[in-house]
């Protein structure tokens, strides 16, 4: 087997190992490390949670003295800055690693090639770009935040076969079956935040938390609420909800008093500008603000108006749409309400990547063309 083939095979193992941190590493990326020496796997580790040791240090701990003279396979450039944990470059150098094979450089401006430079300066051979596209896709949410200053945005919705999310009177519980609803819990568990609108809160009073499945953390629940209409006893605020309300920058005594009441309940408040001539928030600015809070991946679970506004603003990277084997007809409520009429030539384009059965329903996964092009997976 050639060195190139061995590097590719080991990097595939690294990527699979790194994915174990899918639900727990936010806001950090998913990273794993395998240390090889004289054809033997002497150390394996992955990053399991922000604030805990990084993958390289876990693998070096497992390898002990066997790391000296070995090769470290890592799916992301080692960090070279002091964060909640010490730099991994120092650990690799001190352990006597002679060669580092990485999938990609770290888009974090605090690293951005600096890790590779330190390793090279210490006499360590550095090879980068092994399965780079696969590595970038694995950490697409982190890469998106670091390179666009916005999170990766997934929109989830459920509908009948004719695309209706509720009956004419708003009744919708439940459209899909148990298996689909459990699948949604896995989607939430992997997200930094679950976002909805004040309309959904007032109509349904959901918690939007993770339940039914094992999870390492609860995502932050984000409510878009320009006028600050959220009730103080809303279910999304109570228990372990970790709630954030995004409201307009407009101030009044009544609004400031409401903000104080919400903060006393543990609610985080973020404020962004409204669209000119409207009381609707600028959704692009909302996403920039969420990125400032270090949210990598935001899942939108909202009504037709807010969901449609995200699509109309070209801010959705991924669609996850569940369809049940039922029909409500043209009086039922649709999936996406746009603020303006759209010509056929101006329709929003998504590339369908997967269609699968989930219990008695089926799920369609589709991605924005530009996102797929950016990550080289078209």
pLDDT of residue 172: 79
Instruction: Please tell me if the domain spanning 3-138 has the same topology as the one spanning 150-374.
Output: no
Mean pLDDT of 290-318: 97
Nearest to 31 by CA among 64, 60, 6, 56: 56
pLDDT band for position 364 (cuts 50, 70, 90)? very high
pLDDT of residue 13: 97
Using CA atoms, how far residue 160 sits from 172, 302, 319, in Å, is 10, 16, 16
Could you report the per-residue pLDDT of 220-277, keeping only the tens digit for each? 999 999 999 999 999 999 766 589 999 999 888 999 999 999 999 999 999 999 988 8
Could you report the per-residue pLDDT of 311-362, keeping only the tens digit for each? 999 999 999 999 999 999 999 999 999 988 889 988 999 999 999 999 999 9
Position 36 pLDDT exceeds 80: yes
Q: Note whether 182 and 212 are within 8 A (CB).
A: yes
Position 81 pLDDT exceeds 80: no
Task: Tell me the C-alpha distance between 332 and 306, whole Å.
Answer: 18
- Cis link prior to 241 (omega < 30° from 0)? no
Could you report the per-residue pLDDT of 129-157, keeping only the tens digit for each? 999 999 999 999 999 999 999 999 999 99
Alpha helices by DSSP H, listed for the chain, are 3-18, 55-63, 88-94, 114-121, 132-138, 140-148, 178-189, 198-204, 253-264, 283-292, 304-312, 369-374
At 203, list the tokens. Answer: 């109509």
Active site residues: 56
b/e string for 212-224 if b means 16 or more Cβ within 10 A? eeebebbbbbbbb
Position 82 pLDDT exceeds 80: no
pLDDT of residue 112: 86
> 157 Cβ partners below 8 Å, 6+ apart?
165, 301, 307, 319, 320, 321, 322, 335
Contacts 24+ apart (CB under 8 A), 236-242: 236/196, 236/201, 236/205, 236/206, 236/207, 236/208, 237/262, 237/265, 237/266, 237/267, 239/207, 239/209, 240/209, 241/207, 241/209, 242/218
Homologous superfamily of 3-138 in CATH?
A: Cytidine Deaminase, domain 2 (3.40.140.10)
- DSSP β-ladder status, 297-300 and 193-197: parallel
Decide: helix, strand or coil at residue 33: strand
Count Cβ atoms within 10 A of the Cβ of residue 322 and give its class: 0-12 exposed, 13-18 middle, 19 or more buried. Answer: buried
Could you report the per-residue pLDDT of 96-140, keeping only the tens digit for each? 999 999 999 999 998 888 999 999 999 999 999 999 999 999 999
- DSSP β-ladder status, 164-166 and 333-334: antiparallel
Position 3 pLDDT exceeds 90: no
Position 84 pLDDT exceeds 90: no
At 268, list the tokens. Answer: 């985080």
Task: Tell me the C-alpha distance between 111 and 88, whole Å.
Answer: 11
pLDDT of residue 341: 87
Alpha helices by DSSP H, listed for 227-277, are 253-264
Task: Tell me the C-alpha distance between 44 and 34, whole Å.
Answer: 5
Answer CATH for 150-374 from 1.10.760.10, 1.10.3720.10, 3.50.50.60, 3.40.430.10: 3.40.430.10
- Residue bearing the bigger pLDDT, 279 or 194: 194
Decide: helix, strand or coil at residue 266: coil
b/e string for 7-41 if b means 16 or more Cβ within 10 A? beebbeebbebbeebebbbbbbbbbbbbbbbeeeb
Could you report the per-residue pLDDT of 48-66, keeping only the tens digit for each? 998 899 999 999 999 999 9
Residue 147 half-sphere exposure, CB side, CA atoms within 13 Å? Answer: 15
Would you say how long the chain is, in residues?
378
Domain ranges of the chain: 3-138, 150-374
Task: Tell me the C-alpha distance between 330 and 325, whole Å.
Answer: 16
Mean pLDDT of 189-212: 95
- Cis link prior to 27 (omega < 30° from 0)? yes
Q: Which residue has the tokens 């309400």?
A: 337
Residue 311 CA to its chain's centroid (Å): 17
Mean pLDDT of 171-175: 83
Nearest to 305 by CA among 209, 221, 196, 202: 196
pLDDT band for position 304 (cuts 50, 70, 90)? very high
Mean pLDDT of 200-214: 92
What's the chain's average pLDDT? Answer: 93
pTM: 0.94
């Amino acid at each position: 087997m050639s060195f190139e083939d061995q590097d590719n095979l080991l990097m595939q193992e690294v990527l699979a190992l790194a994915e174990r941190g899918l639900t727990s590493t936010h806001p950090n990326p998913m990273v794993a490390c395998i240390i090889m020496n004289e054809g033997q796997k002497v150390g394996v580790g992955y990053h399991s949670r922000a604030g805990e040791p990084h993958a390289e240090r876990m693998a070096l701990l497992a390898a002990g003295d066997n790391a000296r003279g070995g090769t470290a396979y890592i799916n992301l450039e080692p960090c070279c800055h002091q964060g909640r944990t010490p730099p991994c470059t120092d650990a690799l150098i001190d352990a006597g690693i002679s060669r580092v094979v990485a999938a990609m450089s770290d888009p974090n401006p605090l690293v951005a090639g600096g890790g590779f430079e330190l390793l090279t300066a210490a006499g360590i051979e550095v090879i980068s770009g092994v399965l780079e596209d696969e590595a970038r896709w694995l950490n697409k949410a982190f890469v998106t935040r670091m390179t666009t200053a916005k999170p990766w945005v997934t929109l989830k919705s459920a509908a009948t076969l004719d695309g209706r999310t509720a009956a004419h009177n708003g009744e919708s519980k439940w459209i899909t079956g148990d298996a689909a609803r459990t699948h949604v819990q896995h989607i939430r568990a992997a997200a930094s935040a679950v976002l909805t609108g004040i309309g959904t809160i007032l109509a349904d009073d959901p918690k939007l938390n993770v339940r039914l499945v094992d999870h390492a953390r609860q995502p932050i629940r984000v409510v878009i609420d320009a006028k600050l209409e959220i009730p103080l006893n809303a279910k999304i605020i109570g228990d372990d909800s970790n709630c954030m309300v995004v409201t307009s920058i407009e101030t009044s005594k009544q609004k400031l008093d409401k903000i104080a009441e919400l903060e006393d309940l543990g609610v985080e408040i973020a404020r962004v500008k409204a669209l000119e001539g409207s009381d609707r928030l600028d959704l692009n600015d909302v996403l920039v603000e969420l990125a400032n809070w270090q949210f990598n991946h935001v899942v939108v679970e909202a009504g037709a108006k807010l969901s449609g506004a995200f699509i109309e603003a070209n801010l959705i990277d991924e669609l996850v749409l569940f369809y049940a084997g039922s029909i409500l007809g043209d009086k039922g409520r649709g999936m996406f309400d746009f603020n303006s009429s759209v010509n056929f030539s101006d329709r929003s384009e998504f590339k369908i990547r997967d269609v699968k059965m989930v219990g008695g329903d089926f799920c369609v996964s589709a991605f924005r063309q530009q996102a797929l092009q950016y990550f080289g997976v078209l």
